[in-house]
Structure 1
């Protein structure tokens, strides 16, 4: 599959690795410190994953993911490993519902709670993603426009070839149903 994505989503490198390996289908997002007053919004349905090493905290990673924590292997460059497609997005406004999603992503319950309460706005977005590893990671030189605590990074015209999804479609559909069931069970 060849595609021309025009944006990338910054996420902790550890979580990007888990998504690309098919160990995790979900991201729990709040937004960067430079986001608009409304916080993070799901502006794009298809984007490249942009691994960031800034603010990664081993204490906020579940033990099975903490071993993936590493220093930036390519300072000054961005190595984009995969194309992500949003399968479902939920604005989660109950802390109990947000915590019920812990098994589907790499963050600890404490990290989810911290994100939930960040900036005294009690909610997070849960993004279920179909992740397609790239045949060859896209390597870009980091530019000043890419820096900062923002979620979305515009890209110049890039073309990538993506492989089959990291999680088979039946597994992704099963996980989507599980996640929706958990969220409904904890609605406020």
Structure 2
């Protein structure tokens, strides 16, 4: 099913390009987030339930990706531009306060155990957000000029009114529901 063409105020969530590739292709539906260095004192919050994925190339670290995903690392293919590949919708969000539970999520997403643990303890705040996302790739990625107001180590970037016409979901609904159940089982194990 294709959503109708909309011109809606949207925000974008900055995430490593490799992670955005995994989400946009349906290889994963889970994203673990803690926040950037410019976040508020409380850290990352799920401010939006619908947003565009904003691939970033700064700070991508091959030692923090699972080995099978390291081949996705690449240099910025469009310097001076932001290429937004997909619209994401939050299906479920969990604030995970147990490191053991966070580490059990490793098979469902792209980071390795060391990266999960480092993010979990970042700024001496022991927690991490687990976001299950329905991702809808854009048939034609949205390309924006990179401007100073889009830069910086923040998670959320307001985009104002942009044209976004997503296609169908990268993961069929039955599979996404199975991934939701797997997430919930791992969090309560």
Q: TM class by shorter-chain length?
A: over 0.9
2-structure distance, mates of 1:64, 1:46: 28
Shift of 1:64: 1.2
Give matches, 1:103-142, under 5 Å.
103-142=107-146
Task: Provide the rounded CA distance (Å) in 2 between the counterparts of 1:23 and 1:63.
Answer: 14
2-structure distance, mates of 1:160, 1:122: 36
Deviation at 1:63, TM superposition (A): 1.1
Select which of 79, 83, 93 maps to 2:83. Answer: 79
Q: For 1:7 and 1:143, locate their aligned partners in 2 and report how far apart those are by CA, in whole Å.
A: 15
Structure 1 position 5, deviation (Å): 4.7
Q: Is 1:35–1:150's contact at 8 Å kept on the other side of the alignment? A: yes
Distance 2:30 2:10 in 1: 22
2:100 to 73, 77, 96: 96
Q: Which whole-Å CA distance do the structure 1 matches of 2:94 and 2:163 have between them?
A: 29
**From 160, 169, 174, the counterpart of 1:170:** 174
Structure 2 unaligned residues grouped into runs of 5+? none
C-alpha distance after superposition, 1:111-168 (max 9, x if no partner): 0000000000000000000000001000000111111100000002101111110000
Q: Which whole-Å CA distance do the structure 2 matches of 1:5 and 1:42 have between them?
A: 17
Select 2:150's aligned residue among 146, 168, 185: 146
8 Å Cα contact 1:5/1:159 also seen in 2 = no
User: Helix, strand or coil for the counterpart of 2:12?
Assistant: strand
What SS class does the counterpart of residue 87 from structure 2 fall into? strand
State the number of aligned residues. 185
Residues 17-45 of structure 1, C-alpha deviations (whole Å, 9 max, x = no match): 00011101000000000000000000000
What secondary structure is seen at the aligned counterpart in 1 of 2:72? Answer: coil
Deviation at 1:90, TM superposition (A): 0.2
Q: Is structure 2 residue 40 aligned with structure 1 residue 46?
A: no
CA RMSD after TM alignment = 0.7
Alignment gaps of 5+ in structure 1 = none
8 Å CA contact 2:14–2:157 kept in 1: the answer is yes
**Aligned pair partner of 2:72 in 52, 68, 78:** 68
Q: Is residue 28 from structure 1 mapped to residue 13 from structure 2 by the alignment? A: no
Q: 1:31 touches 1:151 (CA, 8 Å); kept in 2?
A: yes
